[in-house]
């Protein structure tokens, strides 16, 4: 709760900075502020509380994910200093920063909501801020397309979510997730058909938000068109926030209805895994590649949610952390390469190993972590999910997931092969100091988590 | 059949008819005008349900503000049936199929739903501003305040995207 208030204040500060001419110091101040909020957020650990008549409730789950969200935003802010350098960007920097802070507010609401009103507001705050950020390169057609497409598709999904919430409210007479959970407990054997329709509509909307197949069509276009830094934000923070909200929804309100929705979720999970990994094989654009990789990662996280028993939240958290740090490192390197070469295709990485071996090695590590190869965090995230799912009797799905992650290795290798065995291009590629720091920190976290996954597996 | 039932059926028929006309009108301006009528009849339903404040807000916000915006947009874009791009038959077929399936499922669900699963208390003052205000500022304080973050973000966003500046 307090985390949310402080973050909103930080956003307001970003707006006021424009008036007081603090534009130059804005990013350092925001980074500092987020670091302070990060440490304050830890105080809610083991201190579950409900706020404002059961609108928000702090729990260890929300604290852990809020911490992760704050960390991701911190990294994005550090990266943004060297990303927004054109005059048009500099003019708008305080607006951008304020919108990013409000995006974070939306994510924080999605981690700790305990009322449907808060869920909807959280999702909308997150999405509307992102529609703007995706289209924030106003003079680029691709960015306009991304913003507009995301806006149209996203508002359609929000309408489904709202309709679902309305139907569920019509049956249960409450917006509170505990109230809906109680209703389900009492009527578990004879559920109202209207309730099931409402629940399915909400599940569809959430599947859209996490970009699971068959609702994934927006993701590659939006990821490609949006400014690279915003793509990094979308593929980490937004995906994780949507998954945390989805998990919260399924584990509280709809836990007794999972039998009805199981088939939908299972089919969607298998389709997401296969589509994401197979289509990624033929991509040439690095951002599109990461978009499809993000879709396939959504599949693994869906698998964690379906086999929802006992330790799903820690499996989800471990996976999210591993995925987030690897993606952030990959994007930090990619932004550097895009800027130097002026192209976003994989050919921009050709011969990187000869020009900057350290950077190439870093990208290799990030890619291997995304592919799920030990000793990186990505491997243990996957291993944990697969073993849990296997133990809970989802052998077939685990089989599909293993096949698709083997397919996945191929397209991650494509980038690595381009760096090590293709002839080099003439551009000089050297990341700035902030980028070097971010890449180092992310990869260190990834390796440490890969060596000691026990830190997080027993956390929640 | 009491007087309120007769009014309900008339309103319902009118809502459905005007909604159908929104879809089937060739001219987008007519569509928007029919949509305004549709909103008015929905406001009538709100009055029937003792939600007077909601009815008034619905008329002011939807029929007033949003529909005027719609009209302006339609007029500015100068949409008419000639300039409208022709959609592929397959797409039309898929849209009709999926929309129809959703419609069918919801009809079936409503038909087989248990009688009166939740009965709202029928107090005549329930829709007064005072009572809504009490609810809004006591139970729903947080969503009410948090909505301001959403609007602020949307406002900054529209300024960022739409402010006219020279390309440099």
Q: Which residues from A are below 8 Å from B150, CB to CB? A: 102, 106, 121, 124-125, 128
Let me know if residue A349 belongs to a domain: yes
A52 phi/psi in degrees, rounded to 5: 50, 65
Let me know if residue A172 belongs to a domain: no
Q: Which residue of B has its CA nearest to A139?
A: B167
Let me know if residue B5 belongs to a domain: yes
Q: Which residues from A are below 8 Å from B151, CB to CB? A: none
The pair of three-digit structure tokens given for residue B104, joined into one six-digit string:
């069918």
Domain count, chain A: 1
Tens of pLDDT along A74-125? 999 999 988 888 877 888 888 999 999 999 999 999 999 999 999 999 999 9
Q: Helices A312-341 and A377-391 meet at what angle, rounded to 10? A: 150
DSSP B110-145: HHTSPS-SS-----TTTTSHHHHHHHHHHTSHHHHH
Let me know if residue A255 belongs to a domain: no
Let me know if residue A368 belongs to a domain: yes
Let me know if residue A12 belongs to a domain: no
Query: CB–CB of A51 and B142 under 8 A?
Result: yes
Let me know if residue B49 belongs to a domain: yes
Domain count, chain B: 1
Whats the size of chain B, residue-wise?
A: 168
Residue B22: give its domain's CATH number: 1.20.120.1200
The pair of three-digit structure tokens given for residue A419, joined into one six-digit string:
């760096």
Q: Which residues from A are below 8 Å from B147, CB to CB? A: 121
Q: pLDDT grade, residue B113 (50/70/90)?
A: confident
Q: pLDDT grade, residue A429 (50/70/90)?
A: confident
Residue from A141, A135, A168 nearest A154 by CA: A135
Tens of pLDDT along A439-449? 999 999 999 98
Counting beta carbons within 10 angstroms of the beta carbon of residue B165, is it exposed (0 to 12), middle (13 to 18) or buried (19 or more)?
A: exposed
Q: CA-to-CA distance for A227 and A233, rounded, in angstroms?
A: 10
DSSP A399-418: HHHHHHHHHHHHHHHHHHHH
Instruction: Report chain B's C-alpha Rg in angstroms.
Output: 21
For residue A322, the enclosing domain spans: 282-460
Q: Cα–Cα distances in Å, from A135 out to A138, A150, B57?
A: 6, 9, 32
* Angle (CA) A224 A228 A230, round 5°: 100
Give SS3 for A106. helix
Residue from A168, A297, A283, A173 nearest A234 by CA: A297
> Which of B49, B142, B144 should be substituted to probe chain A, the one whose Cβ sees the most A Cβ atoms within 10 Å?
B142
With a threshold of 0.85, tell me whether the complex ipTM lies above it: yes
Cβ pair A274, A404 in contact under 8 A: yes
Let me know if residue A154 belongs to a domain: no
For residue B67, the enclosing domain spans: 1-79
Let me know if residue B17 belongs to a domain: yes
Average pLDDT over chain A, rounded to an integer: 90
Q: CA-to-CA distance for B31 and B18, rounded, in angstroms?
A: 9
pTM over 0.80: yes
Let me know if residue A390 belongs to a domain: yes
Closest partner CB to A194 (pick from B110, B154, B160): B110
Q: Tell me the HSE value of A302 on the side-chain side, using a 13 A CA sphere.
A: 34
Tens of pLDDT along A191-215? 888 888 999 999 999 999 999 988 9
Let me know if residue A327 belongs to a domain: yes
Q: Which residue of B has its CA nearest to A137?
A: B161
């Amino acid at each position: 709760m307090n985390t949310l208030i402080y973050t909103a204040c930080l956003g307001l500060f970003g707006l006021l900075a424009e008036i007081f001419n603090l534009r130059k110091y804005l990013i350092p101040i925001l980074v500092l502020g987020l670091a302070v909020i990060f440490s304050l957020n830890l105080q809610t650990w083991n201190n579950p509380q409900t706020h404002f008549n059961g609108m928000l409730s702090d729990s260890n789950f929300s604290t852990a994910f809020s911490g992760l969200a704050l960390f991701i935003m911190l990294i994005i802010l550090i990266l943004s200093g060297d990303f927004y350098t054109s005059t048009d960007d500099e003019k708008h920097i305080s607006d951008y920063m304020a919108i990013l802070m409000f995006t974070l507010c939306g994510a924080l609401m999605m981690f700790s909501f305990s009322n449907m009103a808060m869920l909807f507001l959280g999702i909308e705050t997150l999405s509307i801020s992102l529609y703007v950020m995706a289209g924030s390169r106003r003079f680029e057609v691709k960015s306009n397309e991304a913003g507009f497409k995301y806006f149209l598709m996203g508002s359609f999904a929000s309408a489904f979510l709202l309709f679902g919430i309305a139907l569920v409210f019509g049956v249960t007479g409450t917006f509170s997730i505990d109230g809906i959970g109680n209703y389900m407990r009492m009527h578990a054997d004879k559920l109202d058909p209207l309730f099931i329709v409402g629940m399915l509509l909400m599940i569809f909307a959430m599947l859209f938000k996490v970009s699971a197949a068959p609702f994934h069509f927006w993701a590659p276009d939006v990821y490609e068109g949006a400014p690279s830094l915003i793509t990094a934000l979308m593929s980490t923070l937004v995906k994780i926030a949507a998954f945390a909200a989805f998990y919260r929804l399924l584990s509280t309100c709809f836990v007794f209805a999972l039998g009805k929705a199981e088939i939908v979720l299972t089919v969607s999970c298998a389709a997401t895994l296969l589509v994401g990994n197979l289509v990624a094989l033929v991509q040439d654009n690095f951002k599109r590649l990461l978009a499809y990789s993000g879709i396939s990662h959504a599949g693994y996280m869906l698998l964690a949610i379906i086999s929802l028993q006992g330790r799903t939240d820690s499996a989800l958290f471990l996976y999210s952390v591993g995925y987030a740090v690897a993606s952030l490192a990959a994007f930090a390197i990619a932004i550097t390469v895009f800027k130097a070469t002026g192209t976003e295709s994989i050919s921009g990485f050709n011969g990187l190993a000869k020009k900057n071996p350290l950077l190439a090695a870093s990208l290799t590590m990030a890619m291997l972590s995304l592919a799920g190869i030990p000793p990186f965090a990505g491997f243990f995230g996957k291993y944990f999910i697969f073993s849990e799912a296997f133990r809970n009797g989802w052998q077939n799905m685990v089989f599909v997931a293993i096949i698709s992650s083997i397919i996945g290795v191929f397209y991650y290798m494509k980038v690595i092969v381009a760096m090590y065995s293709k002839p080099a291009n003439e551009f000089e590629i050297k990341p700035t100091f902030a980028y070097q720091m971010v890449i180092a920190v992310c990869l260190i976290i990834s390796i440490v988590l890969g060596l000691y996954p026990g830190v997080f597996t027993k956390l929640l | 059949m009491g007087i309120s039932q007769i009014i309900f059926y008339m309103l319902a028929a009118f809502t459905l008819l005007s909604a159908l006309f929104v879809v089937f009108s060739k001219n987008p301006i007519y569509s928007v005008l029919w949509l305004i009528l549709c909103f008015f009849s929905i406001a009538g339903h709100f009055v029937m349900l003792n939600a007077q404040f909601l009815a008034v807000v619905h008329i002011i916000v939807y029929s007033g503000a949003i529909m005027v915006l719609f009209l302006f947009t339609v007029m500015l874009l100068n949409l008419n049936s000639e300039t409208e791009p022709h959609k592929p038959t397959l797409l039309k077929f898929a849209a009709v199929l999926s929309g129809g399936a959703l419609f069918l499922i919801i009809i079936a669900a409503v038909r087989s739903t248990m009688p009166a699963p939740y009965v709202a208390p029928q107090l005549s003052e329930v829709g007064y501003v005072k009572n809504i205000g009490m609810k809004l500022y006591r139970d729903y304080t947080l969503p009410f305040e948090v909505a301001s973050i959403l609007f602020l973000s949307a406002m900054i966003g529209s300024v960022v995207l739409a402010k006219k500046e020279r390309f440099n």
